[in-house]
Amino acid sequence: MSATTTTHMRIVRARAAGGPEVLAVERAAAPVCGPQDVLVAVRLAGVNFADVNTRRGTYGGAPGPRGLGRDVLGEVVEVGECVRRLRPGQRVAGFSTGPAYAELAVAHETLVWAVPGGVADEQAAAFPTVGQAAYHLLVTASRIREGESVLVTAAAGGVGSLVVPLARLLGAGRVVAAAGTTERAGLAGADEALSYDDLGSWDDRGRAAAVDVALDGVGGDARRAALGAIAPGGRLVHFGNSSGDPEELPAPRAQRERGLGVVGFHLEFLRRHGRAALATSADLLLGWLGTGDLTIPVHDVLPLERAGDAHRLLESRTVRGKLLLSVGPVPEVHRGA
Ligand SMILES: NC(=O)c1ccc[n+]([C@@H]2O[C@H](COP(=O)([O-])OP(=O)(O)OC[C@H]3O[C@@H](n4cnc5c(N)ncnc54)[C@H](OP(=O)(O)O)[C@@H]3O)[C@@H](O)[C@H]2O)c1
């Protein structure tokens, strides 16, 4: 199909690396839809901690203005000439290639999935990063077995709040939620809720209840506490560093003595090398969201213009579940002859 000749669109950009105040709505040309891409009129964009890191410049990259966001929910308005799976008019959710905090976003056809009719917009918009990460943390990285116990840090956050119900759907045993405060840990609905302080000072009874698998995307004190809660022969999966503290892992000798498995996880690896696995899990996750077996807590939906406030909230450690940006009406897309 021919190229889009739409005028301009609204997009949120970070004018430079910095705090939430660097985010501003600008006007930009619509992105170009390549042969294997779809162009999506974005209805909702997900806000993830990775976006905060992009805004801060933690992920490196060229200095200067940059777009943000990877999670999109919207309608396909154009498909590239080689696209076979999707067609204009379909409601899709998934990962965009370019910025998702925008009225129009380009995505490779293998990284967005048609959303079944029974799934609400907000649930579909919330699922790409946190749903896929939580699922593959448990299945691909941890290789969780029936009945094994799991601990997750930042349990009230985006990824954490999905690990708890998914662990149950996948047949795990006891699920332990850890968070900055006991109250936040309690929001996750796990079998046990502990602050990092409580977890770090587990007594003998606590240690006897050590877990098979700990999942940590926080680092710092949270990771140290999680490590202390892993049973001999257990596994640690590390997938992020939202605390901003220097990243630490047990020394090789300590790993050997404890029989500890240490696994790193990054969705980007699956986006590059595991697209079939992501498609399978997208089917499962969207299916569970449709039947109501899985529900993603949505903390709030803010308008695109308030992306800076969304980042402030995410950095305040008060969000429960997922934050979304509502993009609103999009400019008409005029296709060339
Ligand atoms: N590797 C991957 O593929 C992948 C995919 C998705 C997410 N992630 C990572 O997983 C982590 C969670 O991502 P998310 O989007 O779901 O975010 P989130 O968990 O909703 O928010 C981050 C959480 O980190 C905790 N935290 C601890 N110290 C913090 C600090 N100084 N500032 C801000 N937060 C702090 C907070 O929970 P408490 O107050 O309870 O500690 C907060 O709720 C992030 O590190 C993210 O980069 C990695």
Which of 268, 292, 311 is a domain's end point?
Answer: 268
Same domain, 58 and 139: no
Is 312 within the bounds of a domain? yes
Distance 179 CA to ligand 1 centre (A): 10
Domain count, the chain: 2
Distance 84 CA to ligand 1 centre (A): 36
Distance 105 CA to ligand 1 centre (A): 25
What is the model's pLDDT at position 191?
A: 96
Distance 186 CA to ligand 1 centre (A): 17
Same domain, 116 and 195: no
Q: What is the CATH number of the domain that holds 26?
A: 3.90.180.10
Distance 117 CA to ligand 1 centre (A): 31
Same domain, 211 and 134: yes
Is 218 within the bounds of a domain? yes
Nearest ligand 1 atom to alpha carbon 239: 1
Q: Which residues of the chain have pLDDT under 50?
A: 1-3, 335-337
Is 80 within the bounds of a domain? yes
Nearest ligand 1 atom to alpha carbon 158: 16
What is the model's pLDDT at position 328?
A: 76
Same domain, 40 and 97: yes
283-295 confidence digits (pLDDT tens): 999 999 999 999 9
Q: Which of 218, 224, 281, 315 to mutate to test the pocket of ligand 1 (most atoms within 8 A of CB)?
A: 218
User: Domain of 312?
Assistant: 8-128+282-326
Which of 268, 292, 314 is a domain's end point?
Answer: 268
Distance 317 CA to ligand 1 centre (A): 9
Q: Which of 197, 242, 247, 298 to mutate to test the pocket of ligand 1 (most atoms within 8 A of CB)?
A: 242
CA distance 4 to 228: 55
Same domain, 247 and 219: yes
What is the model's pLDDT at position 337?
A: 32
Same domain, 314 and 200: no
Nearest ligand 1 atom to alpha carbon 242: 45
Is 336 within the bounds of a domain? no
Distance 185 CA to ligand 1 centre (A): 13
Same domain, 134 and 264: yes
Is 2 within the bounds of a domain? no
Is 335 within the bounds of a domain? no
46-60 confidence digits (pLDDT tens): 999 999 999 999 877
Mean of the per-residue pLDDT values of the chain: 93
What is the model's pLDDT at position 332?
A: 58
What is the model's pLDDT at position 292?
A: 97
Residues with CB under 6 A from ligand 1: 48-50, 129-130, 133, 154, 156-160, 179-180, 184, 217-218, 222, 239-244, 265-267, 314-315, 317, 319
Same domain, 257 and 158: yes
Q: Which of 298, 317, 320 to mutate to test the pocket of ligand 1 (most atoms within 8 A of CB)?
A: 317
Same domain, 47 and 124: yes
Same domain, 165 and 98: no
Q: Which of 136, 142, 159, 243 to mutate to test the pocket of ligand 1 (most atoms within 8 A of CB)?
A: 159
Distance 244 CA to ligand 1 centre (A): 10
